[in-house]
Amino acid sequence: MTARETREAHRVSSPLELLVDLVFVVAVAQLAAALAHSVEEGHLLEGILPFVMVFFAIWWAWMNFTWFASAYDTDDVPYRLLTLVQMAGALIIAASAARAFEGEYAGATIGYLVMRVGLVSQWIRAGIQHPEGRTTAFRYAGGITAVQVLWFARLLLPYEVQFPAFFLVAILDMAVPAWAERSGRTSWHPHHIAERYGLFVIILLGESVLAATVAFAQAELTPSLAAVGLSGLVILFALWWIYFLQPVGDGLAARPDRSFWWGYGHYFLFAALASIGAGLEVAVVTIGHAAAEVDHALAAGAAMAAEEGEAVVGSVAAALGIAVPVAIALVMMWALHGPLGIRSLVRAPVALGGAAAIVAAALLAGSIGLAAAIAATAGILVLVVASEYLPRSAPPRSAGSGQIAGSSSVS
């Protein structure tokens, strides 16, 4: 196991990496479904914290696997078997996701432990077989092991202390790479990393399509539901379009010092994309429930005035369940790619203004209807995409910017 070449031509994701992504997205799907059920039961605030915590375990384990593979993927028998161990851990988290919303985190912690055992074993092997990167590899192995002890110690704390302890241990976990890389940078491949992140974005968008499809299959199709389905598809397609406006591999190659910001910041983007599927599911259930209430009231000859207030509140909450993660995703796409010096990128006024308009449209759902609010979100994203094809002035060239400007002008 030796370091791979950072300038290796045509470096792409391996079939094993694609299989790993599939396993991780199963965990994300289970977590998003649990979040949707929590929101449908009226426990939005209670559901956000478990979602954030369990998604951290999924995201951080996937990210560690991805960056290690970029540097040391040998694709031999030991590497494959240790990857299998990490996949098993992801499935344990997937099976434990719903219980986390009931305050039971032992299952997710055990799954996280299994994934870390596989990764630590990989780092130890790299440290033994790659002398040039030995110090860095052993730092990774030791740091991850020490933090994992803290994850289990957290479960022994009083319940009310476990939540602040989570954020403290998470910060320590995320500090391990920065500490380990001080002794020598691992040889990750910028274009390979960019592709891996892009593929996970696509998978998360696909998970949202699946969640919405399952919800539609359980409801009677109405014009409002059809509008939500079409709008949801446009939203997902527009977000895909915006993320891939420009490949970021050249930006990572030219600005490796900003890789930590770019890689870590994707937590917020990935979490937002994962929760869009839950939002779409809640919207479908909300519209279906409202339609059933109307049919019941008409059949009974009852007035709808008493039900109107509850329906308005539900519509606004359901609209925000889509609008807020979409707005976060839009802002994060601008915030993550901009520092890499990528010119073909959604502009700051458009990204921030579009995010504000999306949230404002959701707040009007009580007046214009839930389906109309979701359609407005889709329309705003269409305008954001269209703005990229309007003429724009060239940025001024400054000393030292030739490499970035040159790589951008190619496209």
CA distance 174 to 169: 9
Mean of the per-residue pLDDT values for the chain? 85
CA distance 211 to 226: 15
- Helix (H), strand (E), coil (C) string for 199-268: HHHHHHHHHHHHHHHHHHHCCCCCHHHHHHHHHHHHHHHHHHHHHCCCCCHHHHHHCHHHHHHHHHHHHH
pLDDT in tens, 154-200: 989 888 888 899 999 999 999 999 999 998 889 899 999 999 999 99
Q: What residue spans define the domains of the chain?
A: 15-188, 203-390
Res. 378 pLDDT band, cuts 50 70 90: very high
Structure tokens that stand for 8 in this block:
């290796």
Closest CA to 54 of 322, 270, 330: 270
Higher local confidence (pLDDT), 22 or 45: 22
Residue-level pLDDT at 360: 95
The helix/strand/coil state of 154 is helix
Res. 207 pLDDT band, cuts 50 70 90: confident
Residue-level pLDDT at 200: 94
CA distance 347 to 343: 9
Res. 395 pLDDT band, cuts 50 70 90: low
- Judged against a pLDDT cut of 90, whether residue 102 lies above it is answered with no
CA distance 17 to 314: 41
**Residue 136: alpha-carbon gap to chain centroid:** 28
Contact between residue 280 and residue 232 where contact means Cβ atoms under 8 Å apart:
yes
pLDDT in tens, 315-351: 888 899 999 999 999 999 999 988 887 766 778 889 9
pLDDT in tens, 121-131: 999 999 999 99
- Judged against a pLDDT cut of 70, whether residue 257 lies above it is answered with yes
Residue-level pLDDT at 290: 56
Residue-level pLDDT at 392: 65
Closest CA to 101 of 278, 248, 230: 278
pTM: 0.86
Query: Poorest-confidence range of 214-223, 293-302, 383-392?
Result: 293-302
Res. 399 pLDDT band, cuts 50 70 90: very low
